[in-house]
Structure 1
Amino acid sequence: MASTPIEHPTTTQILPSQQQPIPYSNVNGRSTPLSSILPPLIFGTATFNHQYNSDPYALETTGLVTSALTHGIRAFDTSPYYGPSEQLLGEALATPFVRQTFPRDSYLILTKVGRIQANEFNYSAAWVRESVSRSLERLHTSYLDLVYCHDVEFVTPAEVLEAVKELRRIRDEEGTIRYVGISGYPLDVLGALSEMILAETGEGLDAVQSYANFTLQNETLAGAGGIERLRKAGVSVVPNASPLGMGLLRRQGVPVGALGDFHPASRELRAAVRSASNFCDHHSEKLEVIAIRYALETWITRGSVCGSRGDPASGVPWKRESNDDVGGTKLGVSVIGVSTPSELEKTMLVWRSILDGLEGGEATAVQAGRWYRAWEWSHNRRKAVQILAEGVQEILGPWFGYTWPSPGPGTVIQRSEGATAATSAKGKSEGKSGSEETPWLTPAASPEAKPVVGSEVEVEDGRSLPVR
């Protein structure tokens, strides 16, 4: 059950009756391009999960989602693989306040299919239909804006193609899906699958989400084998998720939730990150602050080739901002995740400052009544962050640009079939025997778990600054 919302100051002001719809249309089977409407900042809810928090049911998820909406965020990313994430997000979006003030057509919901457990997958057409139907129910919606095939590197190209074709059939014949994409970690796999899908179907993917591949530690997504290859394969938008490398780039190290230490980074890589964190401390900065600002600000431009002209979150309560207000060009799309109101507030302050530094940001700041030197401050801050980022990357040395293997060594993949998978997943959601024995091998590997009662796991405050 979602936590009771707390009325933040931003939700007790005089409010507009309804927020404006996102300008989507479908005429003669041709939809508005995703690159025209997807907001450049997406709220990721992988943090609503036992991976990053000892008890996600204890998070103030309703208040978080409400506050995100009031600050202008208009897209939410989730997955049935992220434990109770879909249910918690769905309940938050179904509150009377949200439904009255933010109609369903004023924000986008992004979810996924195919990954059931840490090492259990089902990309069959039958399971895709079952998963989509379940997500619609959990999220209390009649349609899903974007559905990804989740972690495609764990299955065969033929399985991915079957799932993509079924998602597109649902899109065309049933109308409960609007856009289709894939997600995963290894860029060579994402590129090859995108090329294969374009060649086999004659239609490029609407989105390919990569995670932990454009960070302070690893910028390979911006290279020729990343976003440029995906663009040539007809991909419309390439969202960059996990700007902190699944929590690696933090002073206190990777987040440890109820499932223990899940991160695939080696001891040597973690040691290099600690050295980089000490370097930032020496200059009175936190590694995670530099990492977040660097990734968000740099990807806005370097990711623009597969970016979007969707309206950005203003970062200011109840202040709408259009893409035209910040230059009118495509902006690279990023996915951030937070667990507490303070994390959200800090992230939105950073985002607001980044927008102030864009073309048109100076005039927009003055018009909105913000500090008349906000644009100048943003540019100076960008220079300072860039200098420290270069220092961090020098300290990382051979670990800069390193990627870990996915799947990891020794991973055994299980493939469920049809009704077996549906029965298995439903049984786990009801807490039936067997769910406790699931191995937690890879990031965000959390089934539909029940709340943790009396957990002895203690997690340091700030464990879940924006991660995946």
Structure 2
Amino acid sequence: MANSIHRPRSDLTKEITPIVMGGAAWSHQLNPDAETRPIIPVILKAFSHGIRTIDTSPYYEPSEKILGKALANPQITSLYNRKDYFLMTKVGRIASEEFNYSPDWVRESVERSLERFQTGYLDVVFCHDVEFISDEGVVAAVSALWEFVEKGKVRYVGISGYPIDKLVRVARKCKEMGKPLDIVQNWGQLTLQNTRLKTEGLRELKEAGVKVVCSSSPLNIGLLRAQGVPIGTLGDWHPAPSGLRQAAANAATYAAKHNDDLASLALRFAVRETANKDPSLPTMSLIMGPGSVEEVESCAAAANSVRDNSAKGEFGDLRDEVVLDKEGEKSDEKLVEGVREILGEWMDFSFISPPEGWSVKEGKMMK
């Protein structure tokens, strides 16, 4: 069976695609109707544009199940083999306040993900939201993942989380142990509203041996769009305070008055920021979260709109080397500046994660 064949480690920077399809759209946290959304057309459309990397997590229930079933469907397998796409998932976070990073659970979680995806290997497995446990706990979980690398069931190992200092600290510890992380994922901090990942983390992560950094949530979990934050089965869980929400709403109105859309502008900004060719910094990929064919087209259009496609026509394959359209970047400058002026004091504002009262030692709220 083709899906059971293992693949050796290679050059991660050349395998992961510049644009990644996030799997959170297929979670009940964001969409109560996740099971009825048209997943197969979304995957086919994303793959056709060169968005060949998928990132998900067991925490995004039931995303793994939905994606795994879809990827095994003949509509997809008749066109794409397992080696044609890059699959990333996570371990450790189970629910909003339930975590298990023990080596035994890491092993069980990976085996379950392999079964759900009906594959013999996962390209990347991250320890998910590592700020919720101690550094030592993360390192132990990472060590369990390296066991799967040795068996050929996981190709690359990484961590994900929000606080940049935590990600850098753990990456350094892993390098000191002689097992540097391959990849790190951070969310909401390389956006039109917050660029701290670029100013506070990329160089340090490179020094710690990290090859690739994924920046997810370019809309900051739906904050940077006219519709406002998404409401799913968890209710209004978005961490943005009311002042930031109002500033984002004002920015959306400003963009509309200038015949643009805040979400589109934010996507263009994020694509430019992650199209980094500085050899002293890690390679970057941008994780977007389309939940419909229309949203895939919107993401692809935003990604293509910042590229110089003059030699390849209007829409190139998003796996192609990124050459930025300098004229387009210049035309966006005034609008970007206007949005940032409206955001004002909320520029580079970061959320508190884990929340106050959380004990990383106990792995739970102590209040």
2:196 is the counterpart of 1:220: yes
Please state if 1:194 is matched with 2:142.
no
Greater Cα offset, 289-298 or 109-118: 289-298
- CA deviation vs aligned residue, 1:6-64 (integer Å, no higher than 9, x gap): xxxxxxxxxxxxxxxxxx963xxxx3121122111110011101121121111111221
- Residue 401 in 1 paired to residue 348 in 2? yes
How far 1:159 sits from its partner (Å)?
0.7
Deviation by residue 1:411-465 (Cα, 9 ceiling, x = unmatched): 467969xxxxxxxxxxxxxxxxxxxxxx9xxxxxxxxxxxxxxxxxxxxxxxxxx
Structure possessing the higher relative contact order (Cα contacts under 8 Å, 6 or more residues apart): 1
Aligned CA RMSD, in angstroms, stands at 2.3
**Alignment pair present for 1:335 and 2:287:** yes
Residue pair 1:148, 1:182 contacting (<8 A) in 2 also: yes
What's the secondary structure of 1:231's corresponding residue? helix
Q: Distance in 2 between matches of 1:36 and 1:338?
A: 23
Q: Which residue of 2 is the match for residue 170 of structure 1?
A: 148
Equivalent residues of 2:56, 2:88 under 8 A apart: yes
Q: Quick one: which amino acid aligns to residue 119 of structure 2?
A: T
1:365 deviates by 2.7
Quick one: structure 1 residues 105 and 63, their matched pair in 2 at CA, closer, same or farther if it must change by over 3 Å?
Answer: same
CA distance in structure 2 between the aligned counterparts of 1:303 and 1:186, rounded to whole angstroms: 23
Q: CA deviation at 1:162?
A: 0.6
CA contact (8 A) 1:42 1:333 kept: yes
Show CA shifts across 1:365-402 (max 9, x none). Answer: 3897xxxxxx99x5433222222111111221111001
Report 1:305-454 matches (<5 A): 305-308=280-283, 332-355=284-307, 357=308, 361-365=309-313, 378-411=325-358
Which is worse superposed, 110-119 or 254-263?
254-263
Change (3 A) 1:344 1:305: farther
More deviation, 133-142/293-302: 293-302
Pair 304,339 (structure 1): closer, same or farther in 2 beyond 3 Å: farther
Relative to 1, partners in 2 of residues 1:56 and 1:97: Cα closer, same or farther, differing over 3 Å? same
Tell whether the 8 Å contact from 1:119 to 1:412 is kept in structure 2 after alignment: no
SS of match in other structure, 1:116: strand
Give, in angstroms, the shift of residue 92 of structure 1: 1.0
Secondary structure at the residue paired with 1:348? helix
Distance 2:237 2:7 in 1: 41
Structure 1 unaligned spans of 5+: 1-23, 309-331, 369-374, 417-438, 440-468
Q: Which amino acid counterpart does residue 105 of structure 1 have in structure 2?
A: K
**Residues in 1 aligned to 2:273 and 2:147: alpha-carbon distance in whole angstroms:** 37
Q: How far, CA to CA, are the matches of 1:59 and 1:306 in structure 2?
A: 38
Q: Is 1:182 aligned to residue 147 of structure 2?
A: no
1:207-286 equivalences under 5 Å are 207-223=183-199, 225-286=200-261
Output the amino acid matched with 2:39: T
Query: Aligned residue for 1:20?
Result: none
Letter in 1 for 2:221: M
Match for residue 145 of structure 1?
123
Check whether the contact 1:119–1:414 (CA below 8 A) recurs between aligned residues.
no
**Residues 302 and 189 of structure 1: is their aligned pair in 2 closer, same or farther, counting only changes over 3 Å?**
farther
Higher strand share: 2
TM-score between both structures, scaled by the size of structure 2? 0.91
**In terms of mean alpha carbon deviation, does 346-355 or 105-114 score higher?**
346-355
Matched AA of 1:253: G
- Residue type of the alignment partner of 1:60: P
CA–CA distance in structure 1, aligned partners of residues 87 and 158 of structure 2: 13
Conserved? CA contact 2:206–2:280, under 8 Å: yes
Partner of 1:294: 269
1:76 paired residue number: 54
Q: Percent identity?
A: 40
Aligned equivalents of 1:281, 1:366: Cα separation in 2: 25
